[in-house]
Amino acid sequence: MSASQTLAQLERQLIQLTRRWERFVANDPEVRLPPEVERAAMEKALREISRQEFRTAADQFRLEQLLHRFSTYNGLWLRQVREREEARARGGAPGRQAAAKAANGGSPAPVSAGEADVLALHREYLEALETSGSRAAISFERFKQAVDGQRAALEGRGAVVEGFEIAHEDGKVKVRARIRRGRSV
């Protein structure tokens, strides 16, 4: 099998693995345990292929992109598992259930430095709604969940989300993702 074919196969496996992790985090009854075996197998396969020398710069670039994506996802997955275990240890609801309770509970969650962009986007969204005459409102927590969900869905399909913007379409105010154009894989 050529290097290009191997990389394409690993990219497909990474997409399948991310979907499986998303199902685990969403508490899908069919995925009760984290796909740790698949994650470890992917890590091993990437380690082995990264030791090879590639003939083309394109294959080397694809490998580096794949390694970066896996590393990013891996950090996210490990954090999600840790948060779920910590929530269970405290006797709270795991994962998204705890976030949903916090978002609908009425008590505002503290905003970290990483959420500053989302907070600014939320303010801009509320201002655009008010300008358009809409009385609809959304809490920051629910807005953040929606933006994070949109980002995860797009990245799960292989898109590279550069950020978000407020758009006016058909008389409605919408949050639209800015996606990097060109080849994303």
What does the pLDDT look like over 126-136, one tens digit per residue?
A: 888 888 887 77
| pTM assigned to the model | 0.48
Residue 115: band (very low, low, confident or very high) from pLDDT cuts 50, 70, 90: low
Predicted confidence at residue 182, as pLDDT, reads 60
Name the residue with higher pLDDT: 4 or 12: 12
Are residues 33 and 24 in contact, defined by beta-carbon separation less than 8 angstroms? yes
Residue 169, SS3? strand
DSSP states of 99-110: HHHHHHSSPPPP
**Model confidence over 26-82: pLDDT tens digits?**
888 888 888 889 989 999 999 988 888 877 888 889 999 999 999 999 888 888 888
